[in-house]
Structure 1
Amino acid sequence: MKRLTKSYDKKLVGVCAGISEYFNPELDPVIVRIGFVVLCFFNPLVLIAYLVLAIVLPDPGVA
């Protein structure tokens, strides 16, 4: 069973790369990171969601 976790390929805490690996392993994490930044301009709640995911998601070795 596939689980959403943080990634080893991290720039801050690995949330965007973890999301990228979960939905499509061949998807470049940079695209997800750019999407998060763009969405933060339109809706600041995305930043809060990122912070919550950074706290809640397990590290990649734990899962």
Structure 2
Amino acid sequence: MMDRRLYKTENNDKMICGVCGGIAEYFGIDPTLVRVGWVIAGCMASFGLWAYILCAIVMPRKSDVYPQL
């Protein structure tokens, strides 16, 4: 079983904080789909905005999780 960790990206998938890119890498999907999901969630009583801010603060960077990469 592969050990997967959730982290913020630091490569081309990063736009603001790298949260959507990291979630997309974790699930193996396109980062654009994750971004669209955040926008839709943001339109629903600003849940997406607060969830994104919380994830940007709590999630570690990829270089912190995998320092050798």
- TM-score grouping bracket, smaller chain normalisation: 0.7 to 0.9
Return 5+ residue gaps in structure 1 as ranges: none
TM-score normalised by structure 1 residue count: 0.88
RMSD: 1.0
- 1:30 corresponding residue in structure 2: 32
Contact conserved, 2:8 with 2:18, CA < 8 A, in 1?
A: yes
In structure 1, C-alpha distance between the alignment counterparts of 2:61 and 2:42, rounded to whole Å: 24
Determine whether 1:20 maps to 2:24.
yes
Corresponding residue pairs, total: 61
Which 4+ runs in 1 deviate beyond 3 A? none
Task: Name structure 2 gaps, 5 residues minimum.
Answer: none
Which residue of the partner structure matches residue 57 of structure 1?
59
Cα shift readout 1:20-44 (whole Å, capped 9, x = no counterpart)? 00011xx110111011101111231
Corresponding residue SS for 1:62:
helix
* TM-score (normalizing by structure 2): 0.81
| Larger-Rg structure | 2
